[in-house]
Amino acid sequence: MGKLNIVGAINSALSEEMERDRDVIVIGEDVGRDGGVFRVTEGLLAKFGPERIIDTPLSELGIIGAAIGLAAYGMKPVAEIQFMGFLYAGLEQVFSHAVRIRSRSRGRFSVPMVIRTPYGIGIKPPELHSESSEALFCHMPGIKVVVPSTPYNAKGLLKSAIRDPDTVLFMEPSRLYRSIKADVPDGDYTVPLGRASIHQEGRDLTVVSWGTMLHRASEAAEGFDAEIIDLMTLKPFDEEAVLTSVKKTGRLVIVHEAPRIAGFGAEVAALVAEEAIEYLKAPVLRVAGLEAVVPMARLEDYYMPSLERIRKAYEKVMRY
């Protein structure tokens, strides 16, 4: 057991998985000598050599497209895309191929790869470095979408993602990379995909969140008897965990950083509307990013759900 931040936890997951399975390789821009722009792959080149920690041309489409072929042939590529906004260049490869090849070939071929990418506001960068576009991917059948929120679950979830037989998008909260240090077991353990975790138990109100926003939603819950669910996997998400909690509390607030319209919170809200509406004591509320282009540093605090906006939502549902 040692104290690690999320960067260290991911590094440790990669390193252990590469030791466990020689087909696991890391490809991406600057992942080798530079150790990645966030230093997530630091030290791996020295440990595993340039045949397994591979610096590629600056070409997101090429990285994902080649990873599809690598995976289909039997490698286990972990492709790093430097920022989520850069993944847009490779979207067609994900949407038109990676998620469809198992179905298109009726199971003869598959694409077991992991796309790792930092997401969200957090490091005051130029434009397109702070996107939170999970909903785009969750809409697409055939992919799994995972968002860790702590060093412990980052390591365990990434290991599960690497061992998963399908394409997994692994969204790393850039704001949390180095801000939380916690105990992470040395050696092998996994956190299963598709299961939520009860971050905090409570009776009056269910809060559903993930990634960066989980911590803010949690901080805002001070003074409320809130049950906080960390979804961790958005696709496929743990519907049972949400329904069980809402049936107990009768209130639901969903907090995410991405824009509200067609955001993943809408899916969670719709599930509750369809399957547990009779348990609700209050309207379901979403606290989300605004209907605007993700801003640069000066305006980001206005864009993201603030503690105040989240608290207001909690207060509002508690009035019922």
Partner 1 sequence: MPVNIIEKIEVKYLQIINEKGEADPNLIPSVSDDEITRFFETIILARAFNQRALSLQREGRIGTYASILGQEASQVGSALAFSVEDWLFPSFRESGVLVAKGYPMWMLYRYWAGDERGMKCPENLNIFPMSVPVGTHVPHATGAAWAMKLKGHRKAAGVYFGDGGSSKGDFHEGLNFAGVFKAPVVFLCQNNQWAISVPRSLQTAAKTIAQKAYAHGFEGIQVDGNDAAAVYKATKDAVEKAKNGGGPTLIECFTYRLDDHTTADDASRYRAKEEVEAWRAKEPLVRLRLYLEKKGKWTKEYEEGVTKKAQESVDAEIKKAEAYPPPDPADLIRYTYAELTPRQKKEMKESGWGS
Counting residues that bind partner 1 (by CB under 8 A) gives 45
Cβ 93 to partner 1 shortest distance, Å: 7
Examine residue 107 and tell whether it contacts partner 1 (CB under 8 A). yes
CB atoms under 10 Å from CB of 36, counted, come to 23
Q: What is the DSSP string of 35-97?
A: --TTSTTTTHHHHH-TTTEEE--S-HHHHHHHHHHHHHHT-EEEEE-SSGGGGGGGHHIIIII
Residue 129 among the catalytic residues:
yes
Examine residue 165 and tell whether it contacts partner 1 (CB under 8 A). yes
Q: Would you say 104 or 281 has its CB closer to partner 1?
A: 104
Rg from Cα positions in the chain: 19
Examine residue 62 and tell whether it contacts partner 1 (CB under 8 A). yes
Examine residue 97 and tell whether it contacts partner 1 (CB under 8 A). yes
Examine residue 25 and tell whether it contacts partner 1 (CB under 8 A). yes
Candidates 4, 37, 70, 221; binder of partner 1 (CB under 8 A) is 70
Candidates 1, 74, 291, 308; binder of partner 1 (CB under 8 A) is 74
Query: Residue 285 and residue 301: Cα distance in Å, rounded?
Result: 20
Backbone CA torsion sign across 47, 2, 161, 33: negative
Examine residue 59 and tell whether it contacts partner 1 (CB under 8 A). yes
List, in sequence order, the alpha helices (H) in the chain: 6-20, 44-48, 60-73, 91-92, 101-104, 134-138, 151-163, 211-220, 239-249, 264-275, 300-303, 307-318
Query: Residue 130 and residue 145: Cα distance in Å, rounded?
Result: 17
Examine residue 236 and tell whether it contacts partner 1 (CB under 8 A). yes
Examine residue 144 and tell whether it contacts partner 1 (CB under 8 A). yes
**Would you tell me which residues interact with partner 1 (CB under 8 A)?**
25, 51, 54, 56-57, 59, 61-62, 64-75, 77, 92-93, 96-97, 101-110, 141-142, 144, 164-166, 194, 236, 239-240
List, by residue number, the catalytic residues. Answer: 129
